[in-house]
Amino acid sequence: MKSGFISIIGRPNVGKSTLLNTILGEKIAIATSKPQTTRNTIRGIHTTETSQMIFLDTPGIHKPKTKLGSFMTDSALHTFKEVDLILFLVDDALSHGPGDKYITELLKNVDTPKFLIINKMDSMSPDLHKEIFDEYREIGIFDEIYPISALENKNVDLLLNEIEKKLEDGPQYFPEYMITDYPEKFIISEILREKVLMYLEDEVPHGVAIEIEEFKEDEKVTRVSAVIYCEKKSHKGIIIGGGGRKLKGIGKSAREEMEALLGCKVFLRLWVKVRENWRNSDFALGNFGYKER
């Protein structure tokens, strides 16, 4: 059997979590149109008869403005030299923005094998695809360059075949039935955070954190009590909404997905609390799980 660890890196909102979910055939990483959705490095396990690939879906690499932002970027950079292969996802030409240039410069000093993945080919013109391909090929640091659509599952199987060729013989690190090594409690908190992101206005999401206070599984029902933290009193009102309608919508959507994941009824209780400037508090970041595993 071949096995290895593969890091998925790129700018925020380039499709890293969507790719991981497509590879696994199940949703373990939240994916929304909001940038910087992924905050922790999420591990997904893809096992076949001939290989086991452990993918690390990393937070989007960006110039941090808070301690949370620094944690997210450091989490991604930390994987560079600890994996067997790096997948660098892009969806635009190198000359169109500074974000991909910054990541490319970092990768020039990394000896780990690297694939450039041109994502969103389903919505990309042939001219843009050629421009991206030519610019990155000219740099000369990528072993291979592949176009895919993670959203529409185009060329993903081809990519997996090429990844397997690159891996060496190794052990099976996890049982074949596992698709992630994160506990259900973490995935539950991420489901809730995704629903909050989807329901909220643009200025609120980055200041939201989830704390699971109770996660109790009985034979027929799972009881979940969670706190949605925000940084401003005005944001608390936005999350709750008029007559509590927005919070009820968040809860209903989250509960339905939790029940599909757990295969049982879920009794979900939600509170909204204010913790000012938590993104710059080491204590709060640790409490909310933003620390190295």
Same domain as 256, residue 150: no
Q: Kind and range of the H or E element at 126?
A: helix 126-139
Same domain as 159, residue 38: yes
Same domain as 37, residue 139: yes
Same domain as 127, residue 268: no
Q: Kind and range of the H or E element at 238?
A: helix 233-240
- Under DSSP, the state recorded for 39 is -
Per-residue confidence at 32, pLDDT binned at 50, 70, 90?
very low
Same domain as 193, residue 97: no
The pLDDT, as a whole number, for residue 293 is 44
pLDDT at 59 over 90: no
Q: Provide the domain count of the chain.
A: 2
- Entry pTM: 0.69
pLDDT at 30 over 60: no
Q: Please give the average per-residue pLDDT across 187-214, as a whole number.
A: 80
Same domain as 273, residue 145: no
Domain membership flag for residue 194: yes
Least confident of 10-14, 238-242, 279-283: 279-283
Q: Domain containing 265 — which CATH number?
A: 3.30.300.20
The pLDDT, as a whole number, for residue 165 is 95
Q: Domain containing 80 — which CATH number?
A: 3.40.50.300
φ/ψ of 240, rounded to 5, equals -75, -40
Same domain as 139, residue 222: no
The pLDDT, as a whole number, for residue 254 is 92
Listed residue (61, 126, 131, 145) closest to 92, CA to CA: 131
Q: Please give the average per-residue pLDDT across 17-24, as a whole number.
A: 91
Same domain as 155, residue 37: yes
The pLDDT, as a whole number, for residue 78 is 67
Q: Which comes out higher in pLDDT, residue 263 or 146?
A: 146
pLDDT at 229 over 70: yes
- Domain boundary (143, 169, 195) is at 169
Same domain as 154, residue 208: no
Same domain as 162, residue 31: yes
The pLDDT, as a whole number, for residue 177 is 87
Residue with tokens 């990768």: 107
Same domain as 104, residue 81: yes
Report helix, strand or coil for 227.
strand
Same domain as 264, residue 216: yes
How long a stretch of residues is the chain?
293
Domain membership flag for residue 16: yes
Mean of the per-residue pLDDT values of the chain: 83
The pLDDT, as a whole number, for residue 204 is 59
Q: Residue-wise over 243-276: b if at least 16 C-beta within 10 A, else e?
A: eeebbeebbebbbebbeebbeeebebebebeebe
Per-residue confidence at 34, pLDDT binned at 50, 70, 90?
very low
The pLDDT, as a whole number, for residue 184 is 81
pLDDT at 53 over 90: yes
Is 182 in contact with 176 (CB distance < 8 Å)? no
Q: Which domain holds residue 229?
A: 184-287
Q: Please give the average per-residue pLDDT across 122-144, as a whole number.
A: 94
* pLDDT tens figures, 66-106: 555 555 555 656 667 788 999 999 999 888 877 788 889 88
Angstrom CA distances, 32 to 37, 38, 190, stand at 7, 9, 12
Q: Please give the average per-residue pLDDT across 25-39, as a whole number.
A: 57
